[in-house]
Amino acid sequence: MDILVVGSVAFDSVETPFGQADEVLGGSATYFSTSASYFSNVAMVAVVGEDFPVEHEVMLKEKNIDLAGLQRVKGGETFRWKGRYEYDLNQAHTLETHLNVFESFSPELPEEYKKIPYVFLANIDPELQLKVLEQVENPKLVACDTMNFWIEGKQDKLRELLKKVDMFVINEGEAREFSDEASLVRAARHILDCGPHTVIIKRGEYGALMFKDDEVFNAPAYPMEDIFDPTGAGDSFAGGLMGYLANTGDLSEEGLRKAIIIGSTMASFNVEAFSLNRLKDLTLDEINLRYKAFKRLTHFEEL
């Protein structure tokens, strides 16, 4: 196995201007794993309740996602999230959150997961993210995500975590909040001073910016006619990014740039449908074609 992801598995109920979906498969670990599975073998550590149907497990296993680390709590209910997007699809409005079995989640790595070289700590309590890092042995690359809730409530733990992380993936507004800087360039520098050698700032429909040493890379988002459901876009992005890096083992500047475009490619597919309905049935040809479209989208000649 190449990639370890620790995060959430959820049932999402989502309303967007294009429709609604009830109790569909979601969660950061789910989106990440499915996206990464096109490039690498993923091992997932997460928790579900007894209500988690076997067909979801079958789908994930068909993607060669290892579920030995998926805890099943007897008599428990799976994490549920209900949210709505208005026409500004960059902003989710949370209507309900039921943590259920996720509330007492404590990530325990199966023995065979401890030497996995690529580690993604999806958005969970930084104390749990730290607990995962205590269990892994000499990872090649550790990346993590977070959210405003932890920036506001557990910033000390988050800063402790960042010292041990190579790559930080964070939303634009959260980067500004974390660094207390209006300028993204200054925000990125602040984060790099905290430990990671690379920071990737996600900007929703505006794409992503990577800062590494003195280099900056701008990746656009693919201009979509309709964004049916932005849920999971950030985790699909991270999944494509990490999946491609683990596949090539190329952590050079050029390798990272390609991986970010692969991440953007996977995110662009993900938003075309509710849940994982589009993301789960892609072909490598479709992925290659979309990557080429990103190349054309950004191409201009020298003067």
How many beta carbons lie within 10 A of that of residue 59, not counting itself?
17
Binding to its own copies, residues 86-105 (CB under 8 A) = 87
Q: Compute the distance between CA of residue 83 and CA of residue 21 in angstroms, rounded to an integer.
A: 10
Query: Could you say whether residue 261 binds its own copies (CB under 8 A)?
Result: yes
Query: Could you say whether residue 258 binds its own copies (CB under 8 A)?
Result: yes
Total number of residues that touch its own copies (CB under 8 A): 39
Query: Could you say whether residue 291 binds its own copies (CB under 8 A)?
Result: yes
The window from 22-30, 105-113, 178-186, 229-237 that contacts its own copies (CB under 8 A) reads 178-186
Nearest-approach distance from CB 265 to its own copies, in angstroms: 10
Give CA separation, 287 vs 144, 167, 269, 291, in Å.
Answer: 24, 24, 9, 6
Nearest-approach distance from CB 293 to its own copies, in angstroms: 9
Query: Could you say whether residue 299 binds its own copies (CB under 8 A)?
Result: yes
The window from 63-71, 127-135, 145-153, 217-225 that contacts its own copies (CB under 8 A) reads 217-225
DSSP per-residue letters across 66-120: EEEEEEEETT---EEEEEEE-S-TT-EEEEEEE-GGGGG------GGGTT-SEEE
- Which member of 62, 193, 224, 249 binds its own copies (CB under 8 A)? 224
Give CA separation, 148 vs 3, 58, 81, in Å.
Answer: 26, 33, 17
The window from 26-34, 149-157, 230-238, 289-297 that contacts its own copies (CB under 8 A) reads 289-297
- The binding track of 50-89 with respect to its own copies, each residue x by CB under 8 A or -, is -------------------------------------x--
Give which of 138, 145, 141 is closest to 119, Cα–Cα: 141
Q: Compute the distance between CA of residue 144 and CA of residue 200 in angstroms, rounded to an integer.
A: 10
Q: Compute the distance between CA of residue 63 and CA of residue 171 in angstroms, rounded to an integer.
A: 28
Interacting residues with its own copies (CB under 8 A): 17, 87, 182-186, 203, 206-207, 209, 215-220, 223-227, 254, 257-258, 260-261, 288, 291-292, 295-303
